[in-house]
């Protein structure tokens, strides 16, 4: 067998060299096996060991294995070990993801600057300039006593982004009657809506916010999956017909009766709120699905201004890989749901596969239609979430590891566990201003959500 150092690193498809992780091979095999009725993780581990052994035999230092080579050996090992059904599922999974990557690359090469890929470079440059582009550097801020200054710098950056969006809206008035602020779950839509509203009000415009979360159907009308979970993340969970009728009525000068939705009971309340849009007012929509065409089909495009917000986090973990944006948003939602919507962190984690599916289906395809992209990432936030959430994750990792039906939750829990473990905890939330985006999740905001 070749020296273990051969598999210390691996080359990703984009050429980046990252630490080799055998667990990712085991997870890939086990997930494919689960799809065809398998439930033995130990068998996946044995097959994973065989894959690693074949890799070691095929590589001589200083040559490094690539992701494609690893996947080729997984296919070969599954077939030769008599697991044809699992091999077929893995091959199909690999093919589907390759097509998805091709689609993303095609979109990125032909899209305008209104999608995140150009914005990402600005965010990364800012992180480098402010010495917060890695977990190590963020820990240094805490150690050196410069964490409060980092909070102030991040706040100023976000406020400047909001001001830029507001200027674009003002340039298109009075034609624009609706501003849509969209983005994936826990990206900061509500705070951003409020702050954009504040900027426009300073210019003499009166703003009216219409929260589309109030238009959910009653919970008993939602389908359940095999775990009994409700799918809040599909736009069809909202009363699209009523939304469009109300939008058309508002723009026509009529008064609507906006529903109230109680997330603790899962039902609309009997009381409604009257609402009317005057000629000097602009309607703001804060919604996960604001870019989804059928959501606002009753309004012509020239009357809408679309903003998109995402946590464009450009921070590397201890292994040198960029932290996933979705993991940051998961942590935000775990904290918020635990005190605001009566969900415990375990429920939020188990539900997250719905969130990701809906984002891919109903948000990403419409990014090319937006007028401005706002960065909602906060490089100082992760040490705060460690204080709130890290103690849950060892149990998550332990409980889901052997559960074939919860492999998505296990992989995510393990990744977030390792991230939080590497961070220094920040305890003093008094250094966080009362009007910033993170208060939407940890509480203590001057705004009402």
Q: Are residues 90 and 123 in the same domain?
A: no
Q: Tokens in use for 420?
A: 């939080």
98 and 231 share one domain: no
Find, among 218, 234, 141, the residue nearest to 431 by Cα.
Answer: 141
Convert the pLDDT of each residue in 23-75 to its tens digit.
989 988 988 888 888 888 888 889 889 988 888 888 776 778 888 888 888 88
Tell me whether residue 448 is in a domain.
Answer: no
Q: Taking all residues of the chain, what is their mean pLDDT, rounded to a whole number?
A: 87
94 with 116, same domain: the answer is no
Domain contains 267? yes
* Number of domains present in the structure of the chain: 2
- Per-residue DSSP letter, 312: -
- The per-residue pLDDT for 108 is 41
User: Among 71, 103, 135, which residue terminates a domain?
Assistant: 103
The CATH number for 171's domain is: 3.40.50.300
pLDDT confidence of residue 427: 95
DSSP assignments along 190-207, one per residue: HHHHHHHHHHHHHTT-EE
Question: Helices H, strands E: what count in the chain?
Answer: 15, 9
pLDDT band of 102, cuts 50, 70, 90: low
The reply to whether 275 and 411 lie within a common domain is yes
Do 94 and 144 reside in the same domain of the chain? no
Torsions phi, psi for 170 (to 5 deg): -60, -35
List, in order, residues 6 or more apart from 204 with CB less than 8 Å away: none
Paired with 423 in beta bridges are none
Domain termination residue (choose one: 103, 122, 143)? 103
Q: Are residues 162 and 218 in the same domain?
A: yes
Domain end (from 103, 121, 149): 103
Q: Which of 83, 138, 358 is nearest to 74 (CA)?
A: 83
Tokens 């089909």 appear where?
297
Which residue carries 């080729």 as its tokens? 72
Are residues 98 and 118 both part of a single domain? no
What's the number of CA atoms in the CB half-sphere (13 Å) around residue 310?
A: 21
CA distance 178 to 205: 13
Q: Which domain holds residue 378?
A: 111-442
Same domain? 82 vs 187:
no
Q: What is the pLDDT of residue 99?
A: 62
pTM for this one? 0.76
> Stretch 69-93: mean pLDDT, rounded?
85
- Which residues have a Cβ under 8 Å from the Cβ of 332 and sit 6 or more positions away? 186, 381, 385, 438, 440, 441
Cα distances from 168 to residues 307, 312, 387, in angstroms, run 10, 21, 38
| Interatomic CA distance for residues 293 and 362, integer angstroms | 9
How is residue 181 written in tokens? 């602020």
Q: Is 232's pLDDT higher than 70?
A: no
Residues in the chain: 449
For the segment 344-386, what is each residue's pLDDT rounded down to a tens digit? 899 999 989 888 888 888 888 888 889 999 999 999 999 999 9
Share of the chain above pLDDT 90, in %: 50
What's the angle, vertex CA 336, arms to CA 315 and CA 215, rounded to 5? 115
Pair 138, 201 in one domain: yes
List the Cα angle 130/134/136 in 5-degree steps.
105
Is 242 part of a structural domain of the chain? yes
Whole-number Å distance between alpha carbons of 441 and 329 = 10
Residue 447 lies in a domain: no
- Asked whether residue 327 falls in the same domain as residue 255, the answer is yes
Domain assignment present for residue 144? The answer is yes
Whether residues 77 and 134 share a domain: the answer is: no
Judge whether 190 lies within some domain. yes
Q: How far apart are CA 289 and CA 308, in angstroms?
A: 10
Of the candidates 348, 361, 122, the one whose C-alpha atom is nearest the C-alpha of residue 230 is 348
Considering the domain architecture, whether residues 360 and 379 belong to the same structural domain is answered as yes
Residue 128 domain-assigned? yes
């Amino acid at each position: 067998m070749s020296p273990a150092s051969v598999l210390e690193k691996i080359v990703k498809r984009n050429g980046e060299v990252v630490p080799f992780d055998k667990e990712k091979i085991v997870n890939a095999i086990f997930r494919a096996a689960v799809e065809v009725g398998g439930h033995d993780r130990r068998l996946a581990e044995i097959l994973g060991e065989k894959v690693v052994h074949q890799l070691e035999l095929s590589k001589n230092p200083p040559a490094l294995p690539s992701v494609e080579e690893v996947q080729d050996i997984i296919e070969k090992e599954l077939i030769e070990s008599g697991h044809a059904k699992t091999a077929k599922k893995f091959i199909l999974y690999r093919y589907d993801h390759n097509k998805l990557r091709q689609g993303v690359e095609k979109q990125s090469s032909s899209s305008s600057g209104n999608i995140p890929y150009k914005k990402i470079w600005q965010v990364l440059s800012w992180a480098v300039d402010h010495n917060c582009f890695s977990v190590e550097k963020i820990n240094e801020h805490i150690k050196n006593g410069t964490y409060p200054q980092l909070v102030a710098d991040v706040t100023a950056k976000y406020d400047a982004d909001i001001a830029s969006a507001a200027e674009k809206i003002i340039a298109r008035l009075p034609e624009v009657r609706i501003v849509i602020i969209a983005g994936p779950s826990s990206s900061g839509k509500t705070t951003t809506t409020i702050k954009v509203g504040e900027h426009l009000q300073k210019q003499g415009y009166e703003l009216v916010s219409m929260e589309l979360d109030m238009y959910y159907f009653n919970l008993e009308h939602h389908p359940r999956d095999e775990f009994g979970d409700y799918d809040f993340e599909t736009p069809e969970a909202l009363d699209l017909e009523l939304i469009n009728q109300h939008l058309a009525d508002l723009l026509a000068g009529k008064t609507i009766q906006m529903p109230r939705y109680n997330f603790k009971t899962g039902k609309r309340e009997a009381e409604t709120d009257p609402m009317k849009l005057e000629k000097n007012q602009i309607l703001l929509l804060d919604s996960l699905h604001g870019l989804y065409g059928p959501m606002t089909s009753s309004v012509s495009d020239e009357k809408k201004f679309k903003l998109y917000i995402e946590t464009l986090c450009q921070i590397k973990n201890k292994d040198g890989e960029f932290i996933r944006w979705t993991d940051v948003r998961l942590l935000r939602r775990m904290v918020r749901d635990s005190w605001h919507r009566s969900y415990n962190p375990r429920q939020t984690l188990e539900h997250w596969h719905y969130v990701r599916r809906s984002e891919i289906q109903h948000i990403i395809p419409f990014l090319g239609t937006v007028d401005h992209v706002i960065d909602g990432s906060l490089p100082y936030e992760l040490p705060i979430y460690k204080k709130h959430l890290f103690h849950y994750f060892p149990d998550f990792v332990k409980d889901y590891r052997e559960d074939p039906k919860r492999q998505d939750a296990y992989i995510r829990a393990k990744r977030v566990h390792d991230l939080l473990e590497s961070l220094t905890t920040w305890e003093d939330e008094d250094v966080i201003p009362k009007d910033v985006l993170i208060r939407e999740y940890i509480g203590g905001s001057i705004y009402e959500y």
